[in-house]
Chain A
């Protein structure tokens, strides 16, 4: 596993697992959602699904992967990111919740016909670079799969996305994202 971490003063920390900045054509289709409640998850996924469903097998496969990635991104932003001063989660996974008054979650996507960029930001900035590295390495061993292993969601994002990156501005915001290809190299990503 190759993880590169860049810290630059008060602008936060960028963790780039693939070491490359995602490139999506600037003229592509884009969409942004400002999440207000956990109930928005299935609505957003449904809208994303409509983009790809039924065109051909490649678009169907892209749509399936996009649904999973957006699910994991939103679950992370809704339930893992919000923490109290002692670092304990504020919300139980799966509970119905509205966003707090000063909380913001934004999901962005851009599609240029071949590559789909997915990115999410939350207004917590609670993730630490060391935690990202720990979660990825913990889960990078499938020979003895523990059922309740921490960080599996992040690991799934890393395995499915090309150019996976996490940008942490401590106590302010966390942004993570990456690219899904219409024609993925399954041998590399799926093994």
Chain B
């Protein structure tokens, strides 16, 4: 699987569905800024099914992006598809406190 980070946005009547691919780390900053600009839906689903590793820099970028989308776009954000390790990571770093629903482990 390709380690390089990228994302896809699929828009439907329910909102914006974002699918993340690869690692989320210090190299993901610019794509996440682009992502924030592209969000228009009031309901945003972030799908981590194809995400590999997320390190502490990746968590910082993700938290910044989630906060920006919530405050600037007034969107609700849900997280799906995260693996067991990333679920632990989201829980201990507070990512889940900013999202409206998430998978339990």
Chain A contact residues, CB within 8 Å of chain B: 42, 45, 61, 64-65, 67-68, 71-72, 75, 93-94, 139, 141-149, 152-153, 155-156, 159-160, 186, 189-191
Contacts and interface: CB of A to CB of B under 8 A. Distances in A.
Interface residues of B, number: 29
A93 B67 CA distance: 22
23 contacts: A45-B53, A64-B84, A64-B85, A68-B53, A68-B54, A68-B89, A94-B26, A94-B57, A142-B91, A144-B94, A144-B97, A147-B67, A148-B60, A152-B60, A153-B56, A155-B92, A156-B89, A186-B105, A189-B88, A190-B87, A190-B88, A190-B105, A191-B91
A170 B5 CA distance: 37
Contact of A147 (B25, B60, B85, B97): B60
A144 B26 CA distance: 22
Contacts of A139: 93
Tell me the interface secondary structure of chain A in the complex: helix
A149 B93 CA distance: 10
A75 B63 contact: no
B85 A42 contact: no
Tell me the interface secondary structure of chain B in the complex: helix
A112 B94 CA distance: 33
Interface in B67-91: 67, 83-85, 87-89, 91
A128 to B, nearest CB: 19
Given A68-B53, A152-B59, A145 B105 contact: no
Contacts of A146: 63
A139 B55 CA distance: 15
B25 A145 contact: no
Nearest to A94: B26
A14 B7 CA distance: 43
Given A148-B60, A190-B105, A143 B83 contact: no
B67 A72 contact: no
A71 B93 CA distance: 17
B56 to A, nearest CB: 4
